[in-house]
Amino acid sequence: MLVRILVLLYLAGAPALAQTLCQPNASNGYRVRISIKTALGNQAYEWNENEMFLFRATMAFTMRRYYKTETYNVDNIIVCNQTLRVSFWFVVTSPDNSTMLIPKADVEKAVSMSRHRINNAFLLTDRTLEFLGIPPTLAGPVNPDTPPWLIVFGVVIGAVCAGIIVLLVSSLLQKRRKDKGMMEDGQDEEDRQMKGVDNGNVLDGIYNKGFTDDNRFTTL
């Protein structure tokens, strides 16, 4: 009979104790804000008591993982001030003493350690499942589709090919200039032969010896 009375007193006092421990802006409490519609759009699910139970269970797992103990359970996660826009406060109680709260710094470290596991449980991200006051986890390094060494190799090969093309074009232009110069020199020489030169005087036409007065060329 006495045991039943104690159990009833405990059940009657548990909600009042929870309200005392979990309050907005509590020194060891955190506020959670969830944006399911933003994250999932038309595939958004309804937040209900089952989802809240999953959150408490996930947080119990988080505390177990951080402290490396199996003594944490759903009862150690107290939630209060839940709103329809899915925001609420929560605190974590000690497994050894339900009236003692786990320090806020330890809760933050536990959440940071298992942040991706918490997000995956609700199909959300750091932006749509926010622990206000706890910085979001750092994104992992982005691995480019193309390895860096291949990019550097491509740049070097491109520079070498560009240099070869410049050299070929330069050589071709020089060869054309040289051929053009030789053609101009040959044309000048031909012009001089056509005009003829006599004692330094340029004559018009070619000197035809058939029309000379010299007897050496007219004597039969």
At residue 74 the predicted structure's pLDDT band, cuts being 50, 70 and 90, is very high
| pLDDT attached to residue 167 | 85
Give, rounded to a whole angstrom, the gap between the first and last alpha carbons of the chain: 171
Instruction: Please give the helix or strand (H or E) that residue 216 lies within, else none.
Output: helix 215-218
107-137 burial code (b ≥16 CB/10 A, e <16): beebbbebbeebbebbebbbebbbbeebeee
**Structural domain spans, the chain:** 15-132
Calculate the average pLDDT of the chain. 80
Name the residue with higher pLDDT: 19 or 201. 19
Name the residue with higher pLDDT: 58 or 26. 58
Residue 28 has pLDDT above 70, yes or no: yes
State the residue for tokens 């990019």. 151
| pLDDT attached to residue 218 | 52
Q: Could you tell me the strand order of the sheet in which 129-132 lies?
A: 77-83, 87-92, 30-34, 129-132
Alpha helices, H only, 46-205 = 49-67, 104-113, 115-121, 148-195
The pLDDT tens digits of the residues spanning 83-129 come to 988 999 999 999 999 899 999 999 999 999 999 999 999 999 999 99
CA distance 72 to 63: 7
